[in-house]
């Protein structure tokens, strides 16, 4: 039995508790031999151990939402702290399972808040444009460019907020896409029927931002 359990672990995944198949006792019933006997033994073993119950498949659904707040400064400077904010409001009568936001600024194969860099001999074609100081609270997922904030009840709102710092000058288009789950099977639509997505056109200056102190002690950026 020890060797069998070791082999199960070697194939990957969580080790399963051993299951036992009761030995057949000779009796008056006909004896099954050969391939038929092997097939019967496998069927009996599977019945004794139970089938593999995977997670229930998410049903496809569409939900109506609004994006009352979508903001990201159009003009930025290197090393300047800026905020990207997306508010999502459930406009329908059903609960959205797990609202998710996917960020794309460089196309396929590029990490969120990055740009694509072409050239021979590159280990990675993704280069950061913005460094994320702080992302949506408890919003990390298994996907590098997607954050999720859980369910949204009818007429409730969730806010995605990223605090980022630009580290690469240039002109960029930052795109976002909102879905009702990280699998994408739960779609979000605006009142006009369009998908819940959008973009920001951003110019990052190579000059550091000029700042000044206001009368009430706040530090503000001077464009």
Q: What is the pLDDT of residue 216?
A: 83
Residue 186 bridge partners (DSSP) = 61
Domains of the chain: 2-22+31-49 (no CATH), 61-222 (2.60.40.10)
Give the residue from 89, 83, 87 showing the smallest Cα distance to 132.
83
CA dist., res. 126 & res. 107, Å (int):
10
CA distances from 95 to 44, 115, 173, 189 (A): 43, 35, 32, 14
- pLDDT tens figures, 102-130: 999 877 778 899 987 666 665 566 789 99
Q: How confident is the model at residue 52 (pLDDT cuts 50, 70, 90)?
A: very low
SS3 221: strand
CB neighbours (10 Å) of residue 64? 17
- For range 3-27, the mean pLDDT: 44
- For range 31-37, the mean pLDDT: 46
- For range 93-99, the mean pLDDT: 97
Q: Is the pLDDT of residue 188 over 90?
A: yes
């Amino acid at each position: 039995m020890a060797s069998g359990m070791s082999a199960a672990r070697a194939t990957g995944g969580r080790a399963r508790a051993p299951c036992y198949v009761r030995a057949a006792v000779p009796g008056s019933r006909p004896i099954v031999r050969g391939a038929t006997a092997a097939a019967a033994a496998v069927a009996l073993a599977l019945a004794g151990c139970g089938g593999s119950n995977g997670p229930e498949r998410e049903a496809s659904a569409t939900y109506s939402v609004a994006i009352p707040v979508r903001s990201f400064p159009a003009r930025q400077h290197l090393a300047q702290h800026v905020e990207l904010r997306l508010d999502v409001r459930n406009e329908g009568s059903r609960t959205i399972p797990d609202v998710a936001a996917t960020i794309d600024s460089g196309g396929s194969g590029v990490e969120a808040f990055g740009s694509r860099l072409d050239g021979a001999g590159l280990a990675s074609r993704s280069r950061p444009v913005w460094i994320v100081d702080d992302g949506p609270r408890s919003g990390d997922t298994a996907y590098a460019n997607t954050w999720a904030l859980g369910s949204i009840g009818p007429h409730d709102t969730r806010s995605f907020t990223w605090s980022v710092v630009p580290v690469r000058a240039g002109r960029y288009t930052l795109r976002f896409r909102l879905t009702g789950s990280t699998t994408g099977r739960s779609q979000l639509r605006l009142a006009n029927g369009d998908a819940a997505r959008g973009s920001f056109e951003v110019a990052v200056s190579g000059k550091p931002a000029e700042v000044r102190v206001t009368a009430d002690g706040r530090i503000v950026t001077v464009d």
